[in-house]
């Protein structure tokens, strides 16, 4: 989508601010479909929720990966053997059906690698993958497969899909470039290790996505450059994050904007324990939160991670701007925590337009350690010696009140029964219209499905 906007000079100013160039496929879906359509029904696929559709997907890919569309029509399909799709160019996969996991292997249910000019979508906005992760989670296991992984995919988009109840991670982008991910919903169980979207790549735009789980909502890992994440709805989730950061960290030019977080672990967390390398040029703005345990949380002594060798990851030029809402209990977990490594102090940190208040009790605290910059409890100057400061706040700040979302969940999805496949929402942040309408609303000429 954005590639065409760049071409005609109409790319949204907010969207292009952090990206290094165009993102998305370079050839239209219609052109690929005009060239060739490979329906899995013609390669042995049967929409009976019993016959393994894996071989049919692989065969259709082999026929259409050099310029065509792999089409999975509406219907219910069983996936018993995982698919690794490699070497595609100017191709697409249109998943209008629902794929149900029946296999038990580890790894990745759908793995796409070494592919360029690629689109994965549902033209009806009703396509989904149901991972039935509860079968694993009921026994306390998260060792099952991931639903979707992209590796070394360039000039691509993934959109209009639901990924539900993955046994492990839902969606990972590893060493990819120039990608756009949007109009998606991810529903996972209330269990750690069930990440929503993890990205360590270059020049990626992720927007208009809702995630429910108990771990990462949308998270940047190392190495990563020029990542723009906006209009994200963390709806009873672990929350957005960066990390865990270890050794050789190389992350720069990251923006999260218009992030709504409801009843989650944190609004945003940068987490590490030891290590080395750097994170620089990060903007985290327009965050709304309600009922979250943590809010702004930088923790370079993160106790859930084993200490690794190194003095600490250097954090520099990080801005938190326009944060509103309420935290669950500001006396137990204050809304500002910037805990930096004494041997690698955080520098040029800015906290501005920050107004949050506690839902329980009548006070909250801010905690800063070895963090330098402007705002809250940060120290200024360039004499970077270790320090710890705690500030107690006993009055609600002006302007902390913030909107809620109509779809805020009243409870998490458990780990002992199937999670229903939801419809993709049309709102991901209070008052904002998504950048792109659902594919189902587009003219049929945009997403033709039959020759």
Q: Which two tokens stand for residue 208?
A: 């208009």
Reported pTM: 0.95
Residue 6 has pLDDT above 50, yes or no: no
The residues annotated as belonging to the active site are 215, 290
Please tell me whether the peptide bond between 223 and the residue prior to it is cis, using omega within 30 degrees of 0: yes
Confidence of residue 451 (pLDDT cuts 50, 70, 90): very low
Domains of the chain (ranges; CATH) run 1-228 (2.160.20.10), 237-408 (2.160.20.10)
Give the single-character DSSP code of 444: T
Q: How far, in Å, CA of 260 to CA of 289, rounded?
A: 6
Residues 117-141, mean pLDDT to the nearest whole number? 95
Give the single-character DSSP code of 421: P
Q: What is the mean pLDDT of the chain?
A: 94
Residue 5 has pLDDT above 50, yes or no: no
SS3 content of the chain, % helix, strand, coil (to 5): 10, 45, 45
Q: Residue 417 class from Cβ within 10 Å (0-12 exposed, 13-18 middle, 19+ buried)?
A: exposed
Q: Are 405 and 231 in contact (CB under 8 A)?
A: no
Q: How far, in Å, CA of 270 to CA of 37, rounded?
A: 44
Residues 29-80: tens digit of each pLDDT: 999 999 999 999 999 999 999 999 999 999 999 999 999 999 999 999 999 9
Q: How far, in Å, CA of 291 to CA of 228, rounded?
A: 25
Q: Which two tokens stand for residue 122?
A: 């549902």
Number of CB atoms found within 10 A of residue 20's CB: 13
Query: What are phi and psi for residue 315, nearest 5 degrees?
Result: -105, 125
Confidence of residue 442 (pLDDT cuts 50, 70, 90): confident
3-class DSSP state for residue 412? coil
Q: Give pLDDT, residue 444.
A: 72
Secondary structure of 239-277 as H, E, C letters: EEEEEEECCCEEEEEEEEEEEEEECCCCCEEEEEEECCE
Q: How far, in Å, CA of 75 to CA of 92, rounded?
A: 19
Q: Are 35 and 54 in contact (CB under 8 A)?
A: no
Q: How far, in Å, CA of 37 to CA of 94, rounded?
A: 10
């Amino acid at each position: 989508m954005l590639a065409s906007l760049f071409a005609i000079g109409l790319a949204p100013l907010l969207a292009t601010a952090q990206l290094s160039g165009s993102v998305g496929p370079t050839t239209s879906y219609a052109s690929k479909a005009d060239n060739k359509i490979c329906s899995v029904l013609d390669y042995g696929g049967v929409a009976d929720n019993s016959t393994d559709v894996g071989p049919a997907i692989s065969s259709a890919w082999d026929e259409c990966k050099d310029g065509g569309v792999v089409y999975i029509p509406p219907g219910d399909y069983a996936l018993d053997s995982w698919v690794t799709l490699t070497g595609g160019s100017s191709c697409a996969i249109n998943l209008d059906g629902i794929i149900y996991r029946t296999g038990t292997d580890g790894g990745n249910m759908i793995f796409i690698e070494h592919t360029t000019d690629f689109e994965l979508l549902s033209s009806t906005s009703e396509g989904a993958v149901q991972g039935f992760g509860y079968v694993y989670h009921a026994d306390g296991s998260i060792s099952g497969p991931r639903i979707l992984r992209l590796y070394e995919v360039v000039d691509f988009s993934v959109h209009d899909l639901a990924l539900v109840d993955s046994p492990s991670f839902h969606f990972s982008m590893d060493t990819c470039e120039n990608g756009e991910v949007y109009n998606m919903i991810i529903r996972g169980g209330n269990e750690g290790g069930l990440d929503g979207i993890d990205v360590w790549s270059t020049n990626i735009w992720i927007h208009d996505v809702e995630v429910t789980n108990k771990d990462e909502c949308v998270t940047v890992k190392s190495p990563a450059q020029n990542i723009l994440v906006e209009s994200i709805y963390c709806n009873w989730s672990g929350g957005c994050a960066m990390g865990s950061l270890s050794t050789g960290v190389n992350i720069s030019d990251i923006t999260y904007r218009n992030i709504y977080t409801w009843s989650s672990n944190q609004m945003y967390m940068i987490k590490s324990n030891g290590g080395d390398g750097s994170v620089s040029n990060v903007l985290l703005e327009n965050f709304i939160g309600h009922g979250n345990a943590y809010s702004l949380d930088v923790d370079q002594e993160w106790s859930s991670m084993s200490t690794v060798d190194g003095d600490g990851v250097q954090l520099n030029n990080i801005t938190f701007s326009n944060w509103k809402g309420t935290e669950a209990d500001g006396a137990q977990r204050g809304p500002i925590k910037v805990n930096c490594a004494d041997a690698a102090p955080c520098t040029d940190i800015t906290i501005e337009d920050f107004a949050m208040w506690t839902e329980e009790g009548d006070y909250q605290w801010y905690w800063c350690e070895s963090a330098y910059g402007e705002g809250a409890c940060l120290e200024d100057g360039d004499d970077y010696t270790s320090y710890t400061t705690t500030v107690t706040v006993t009055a609600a700040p002006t302007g902390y009140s913030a909107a809620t979302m109509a779809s805020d969940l009243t409870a998490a999805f458990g780990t002992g029964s199937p999670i229903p496949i939801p419809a993709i929402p049309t709102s991901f942040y209070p008052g904002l219209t998504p950048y792109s309408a659902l594919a189902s609303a587009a003219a049929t000429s945009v997403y033709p499905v039959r020759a």
